[in-house]
């Protein structure tokens, strides 16, 4: 397994491009299963999870063509199987997002039950309950979700007990082909869901309330092909802004969307960052100052995103003052604190809260990545640590950050990847 070796101490400064959003690209790739015409998707990030989703579509018989600009054209008219196999689903939980499209379009599917991961048990009960409300018969057979419908799914009124991004995405996609109107209450409103809905509308779907927590979908007999560009990745954007802020540096991020991470930008300003915004760019300038500690509490959009929590734990670990970081979405998403404390951070865990006393500097140490965003927080910690830090198991990072070492090198970081 590759490792990252980071020599801390550089003040990051420069300009980088932001890639397409992983968490928008994944449901949009799944949505190509809803029609029998080619769907071309551009601005896809070159990430392991995207490759896995493309492999999943291919193994079911969809034709996948990559063009010279690395856009992907998916044609699901030649599908030969509606089974999402364990060997692929176990490597990427988001494979569950093919459940709704396959059921709605083909009437029957088997998707391997996605397991939990380091950050939590990650149940999918709300996905299944929504599809059952639309008339699906769902059984669990030998570790697979077996879903089938007698004819078309029916429009339904679904109220989600908990705001669920994936559950909302599966339900919206299924509802686009259902017979009748589906109302989704307490739906997730993340920008990635807005992006998915916009792509579905481009495919001929009828969706009202896009961007709100109440979606009304009028089902159609069929959808058609389209061409769609994935939105910029707001979490990658927030991650690089936080990394530069931790080193008291300055950066311009291009090809991004400032409107998708206002809660994060507000917290960075509270930490002392001078931020300017354009239509598709953000500049951050710490003017050489040490960041101030900021309290953070994660919650569904538009509140502070859980996918930025670990990065702010790292920022607070070297900030001026004491802060509290509260994680309300996942039951085990403060695990990075243990590795950071090995680097000299002073983080006290109390249930779903981390109380952080900022220190002047961290110390390098061999550390291990456990999940995607915790890995990013270790990279940030290593960038501000004295000495050389070796981060192991960085395949987690490659799932969500395209060319992370190249982008950080462009900002002046002393970072290199070494094969194990
Ligand atoms: C999506 O995961 C993202 N993944 C996650 O990003 C992100 O952290 C999460 O949304 C929250 O924003 C993708 O989009 C591929 P949820 P998802 O369903 O859909 C509970 C990353 O780092 N729940 O919104 O799996 C669940 O346990 C990843 O890029 C149920 O109880 O998250 C959790 O507590 C990590 N039953 C809460 O809801 C269900 O059926 C939110 O989960 C579904 C979820």
Return the residue whose CA atom lies nearest to atom 38 of ligand 1.
164
pLDDT tens per residue across span 161-197: 999 999 999 999 999 999 999 999 999 999 999 999 9
pLDDT tens per residue across span 319-351: 999 999 999 999 999 999 999 999 999 999 999
Q: Average pLDDT for residues 58-70, to the nearest whole number? A: 90
| Cα of 262 vs its chain's centroid, Å | 17
If you measure from the C-alpha of residue 17 to the centroid of ligand 1, how many angstroms do you get, rounded to a whole number?
26
Whether 372 is in the pocket of ligand 1, judged by its Cβ within 6 Å, is: yes
Q: Average pLDDT for residues 276-281, to the nearest whole number? A: 98
Whole-model pTM: value is: 0.97
pLDDT given for residue 299 in this prediction: 98
pLDDT tens per residue across span 22-46: 999 999 999 999 999 999 999 999 9
Which of 92, 164, 234 maximizes ligand 1 atoms within 8 Å of its Cβ, making it the mutation to test the pocket? Answer: 164
Question: Three-state DSSP class for 154?
Answer: strand
Return the residue whose CA atom lies nearest to atom 27 of ligand 1.
122
| Confidence label for 256 from pLDDT (cuts 50, 70 and 90) | very high
If you measure from the C-alpha of residue 310 to the centroid of ligand 1, how many angstroms do you get, rounded to a whole number?
15
Whether 334 is in the pocket of ligand 1, judged by its Cβ within 6 Å, is: no
* Least confident residue range of 67-76, 138-147, 241-250, 255-264: 67-76
If you measure from the C-alpha of residue 166 to the centroid of ligand 1, how many angstroms do you get, rounded to a whole number?
6
Judged against a pLDDT cut of 80, whether residue 20 lies above it is answered with yes
- Nearest by Cα to 223 from 101, 307, 130, 311: 101
Q: Average pLDDT for residues 301-329, to the nearest whole number? A: 98
What is the C-alpha end-to-end distance of the chain, expressed in Å? 5
pLDDT given for residue 84 in this prediction: 94
pLDDT given for residue 369 in this prediction: 83
pLDDT given for residue 53 in this prediction: 96
**Dist CA 233 CA 128 (whole Å):** 28
pLDDT tens per residue across span 198-254: 999 999 999 999 999 999 999 999 999 999 999 999 999 999 999 999 999 999 999
pLDDT tens per residue across span 90-146: 889 999 999 999 999 999 999 999 877 788 888 999 999 999 999 999 999 999 999
Whether 166 is in the pocket of ligand 1, judged by its Cβ within 6 Å, is: yes
Cα dist from 39 to 1, 31, 99, 191, whole Å: 35, 9, 18, 21
CA 129 to ligand 1: nearest atom? 40
| Confidence label for 354 from pLDDT (cuts 50, 70 and 90) | very high
If you measure from the C-alpha of residue 165 to the centroid of ligand 1, how many angstroms do you get, rounded to a whole number?
6
Judged against a pLDDT cut of 80, whether residue 1 lies above it is answered with no
Instruction: Enter the tokens of residue 97.
Output: 């997002």
Give 187-215 as a 3 state SS string.
CCCCHHHHHHHHHHHHCCCEEECCCCCEE
**Would residue 9 be called left, alpha or beta, if left means φ above 0 and alpha means ψ between -120 and 50 degrees?**
left
pLDDT given for residue 122 in this prediction: 86
Judged against a pLDDT cut of 90, whether residue 2 lies above it is answered with no
Whether 310 is in the pocket of ligand 1, judged by its Cβ within 6 Å, is: no
Instruction: Enter the tokens of residue 387.
Output: 């000495």
Whether 302 is in the pocket of ligand 1, judged by its Cβ within 6 Å, is: no
119 touches 130 (CB < 8 A): no
Give me the DSSP letters along 310-359. HHHHHHHHTSBSEEEEE--S-TTTTTHHHHHHTTT-EEEEETTEEEEE--
Whether 125 is in the pocket of ligand 1, judged by its Cβ within 6 Å, is: yes
Give me the DSSP letters along 28-85. HHHHGGGBSS-EEEES----HHHHHHHHHHHHTT-EEEE-TT--EEEEGGG----EE-
pLDDT given for residue 118 in this prediction: 80
pLDDT given for residue 226 in this prediction: 98
pLDDT given for residue 230 in this prediction: 98
CA 372 to ligand 1: nearest atom? 22
**Dist CA 32 CA 176 (whole Å):** 12
Q: Please give the positions annotated as active site.
A: 117
177 touches 223 (CB < 8 A): yes
Mean per-residue pLDDT over the chain, rounded = 96
**Dist CA 286 CA 269 (whole Å):** 9
pLDDT given for residue 114 in this prediction: 87
**Dist CA 279 CA 82 (whole Å):** 41
């Amino acid at each position: 397994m590759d490792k990252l070796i980071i020599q801390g101490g550089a003040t990051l400064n420069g300009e980088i491009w932001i890639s397409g959003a992983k968490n928008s690209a994944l449901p949009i790739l799944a949505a190509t299963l809803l029609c029998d015409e080619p769907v071309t998707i551009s601005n896809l990030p070159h990430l392991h999870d995207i490759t896995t989703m493309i492999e999943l579509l291919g193994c079911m018989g969809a034709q996948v063509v990559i063009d010279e600009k690395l856009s992907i054209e998916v044609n699901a008219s030649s599908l030969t199987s509606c089974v999402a196999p364990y060997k692929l689903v176990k490597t990427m939980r988001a494979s569950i997002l093919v459940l709704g499209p396959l059921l709605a379009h083909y009437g029957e599917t088997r998707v391997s039950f996605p397991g939990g991961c380091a950050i939590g048990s990650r149940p999918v009960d709300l996905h299944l309950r929504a599809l059952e409300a639309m008339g699906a018969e769902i059984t669990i057979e030998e570790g697979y979700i077996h879903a089938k419908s007698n004819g078309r799914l029916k429009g339904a009124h679904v109220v989600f007990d908990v705001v669920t991004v994936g559950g909302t995405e599966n339900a919206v996609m299924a509802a686009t082909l259902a017979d009748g109107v589906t109302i989704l209450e307490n739906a997730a409103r993340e920008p990635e869901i807005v992006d998915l809905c916009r792509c579905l509308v481009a495919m001929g779907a009828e969706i009202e309330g896009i961007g709100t927590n109440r979606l009304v979908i009028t089902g159609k007999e069929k959808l058609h092909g389209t061409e769609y560009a994935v939105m910029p990745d707001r979490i990658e954007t927030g991650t690089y802004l936080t990394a530069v802020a931790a080193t008291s540096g300055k950066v311009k991020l291009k090809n991004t969307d400032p409107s998708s991470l206002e809660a994060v930008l507000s917290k960075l300003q509270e930490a002392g960052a001078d931020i300017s915004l354009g239509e598709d760019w953000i500049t951050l300038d710490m003017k050489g100052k040490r960041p101030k500690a900021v309290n953070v509490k994660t919650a569904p959009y538009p509140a502070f995103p859980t996918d930025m929590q670990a990065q702010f734990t790292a920022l607070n670990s070297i900030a001026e003052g004491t802060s509290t970081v509260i994680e309300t979405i996942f039951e085990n998403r403060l695990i990075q604190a243990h590795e950071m404390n090995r680097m000299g951070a002073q983080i006290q865990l109390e249930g779903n809260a981390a109380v952080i006393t900022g220190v002047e500097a961290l110390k390098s140490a061999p550390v291990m990545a456990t999940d995607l965003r915790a890995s990013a927080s270790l990279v940030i910690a290593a960038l501000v640590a004295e000495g050389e830090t070796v981060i192991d198991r960085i395949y987690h990072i490659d799932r969500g950050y395209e060319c992370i070492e190249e982008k950080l090198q462009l900002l002046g970081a002393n970072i290199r990847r070494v094969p194990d």
